[in-house]
Chains A and B, each alone.
Chain A
Amino acid sequence: SQQGEEDPQALSIQEGENATMNCSYKTSINNLQWYRQNSGRGLVHLILIRSNEREKHSGRLRVTLDTSKKSSSLLITASRAADTASYFCATGRSGYSTLTFGKGTMLLVSP
């Protein structure tokens, strides 16, 4: 069963705008990770936030985690056409060493 559920399913913005994607999950977690996948290729790890962290930054990425609401958001600031990709959140249940991926958000950034 899916652990992470992203919304929106698809997002279309112009270059320079910010993009926000959300992820909700159901069970307790150790950490939550975000990955990017360019069309038909492998996934690239973007950022990991631990369950005792509330916010984390990496370059133009900002991730928040609200464990009371079982939700996370990924913000990409000043988007570029090269950010066009699918974005997945991934979670693992406490005590398990594997990840379960959410359904993903397809982001299209137009020049």
Chain B
Amino acid sequence: DTEVTQTPKHLVMGMTNKKSLKCEQHMGHRAMYWYKQKAKKPPELMFVYSYEKLSINESVPSRFSPECPNSSLLNLHLHALQPEDSALYLCASSQVRISDAKQETQYFGPGTRLLVL
């Protein structure tokens, strides 16, 4: 199984809502990533989890709260978002290389298209 799944596919929320994005993989990957992608732009890294521990937070506002409950699941909790947070949110996973920190191939989910009103 080389698939990364994400739910929901689409999400519309108001600025006062709380919602969560979910990501799941069963490839045994121990690194998982959240990216934000605006239209016609490349993906921008938000968070990296390695062995279920948050290893990188790219200065993301606290209204985005990641969670990695186990090695297969990654959540992104959303609260009090702004309209400019509307984007495609991509989850990815990869193997972890500790010895030399080389970059591995990342496997992406289809994304959640978020609209904040």
Chain B neighbourhood of A44, CB < 8 A: 108
**Known contacts A88-B42, A97-B96: A31-B108 contact under CB 8 Å:** no
Q: What CA separation (Å) do A95 and B102 show in the bound complex?
A: 7
Closest 8 CB pairs of A and B: A92-B103, A42-B108, A101-B42, A30-B102, A43-B108, A42-B110, A97-B101, A45-B105
Contact across chains for B45 and A98 when beta carbons are under 8 A apart: yes
Q: What CA separation (Å) do A30 and B102 show in the bound complex?
A: 6
How many residue pairs link A and B with beta carbons under 8 A? The number is 65
Chief secondary structure at chain A's binding surface = strand
In the complex, whether B106 has a CB less than 8 A from a CB of chain A is: yes
Binding site for B on A (CB under 8 A): 2, 30-31, 33, 35, 40-45, 48, 88, 90-92, 95-104, 106
In the complex, whether B113 has a CB less than 8 A from a CB of chain A is: yes
Q: What CA separation (Å) do A98 and B104 show in the bound complex?
A: 8
Which of B96-117 touch A at CB < 8 Å?
A: 96-97, 100-111, 113
Q: Which of A33, A35, A40, A43 contacts B103 (CB under 8 A)?
A: A33
Q: What CA separation (Å) do A102 and B40 show in the bound complex?
A: 12
Q: Which of A40, A48, A103 contacts B111 (CB under 8 A)?
A: A40
Contact across chains for B102 and A97 when beta carbons are under 8 A apart: yes
Q: What CA separation (Å) do A88 and B50 show in the bound complex?
A: 24
Residue of A nearest to B96 (CB): A97
Residue of A nearest to B110 (CB): A42
Chain A neighbourhood of B40, CB < 8 A: 106
Chain A neighbourhood of B110, CB < 8 A: 41-42
Contact across chains for B103 and A30 when beta carbons are under 8 A apart: yes
Chain A neighbourhood of B106, CB < 8 A: 43, 45, 99
Q: Which of B41, B56, B90 contacts A98 (CB under 8 A)?
A: B56
Chain A neighbourhood of B96, CB < 8 A: 97
Residue of A nearest to B105 (CB): A45
In the complex, whether B21 has a CB less than 8 A from a CB of chain A is: no
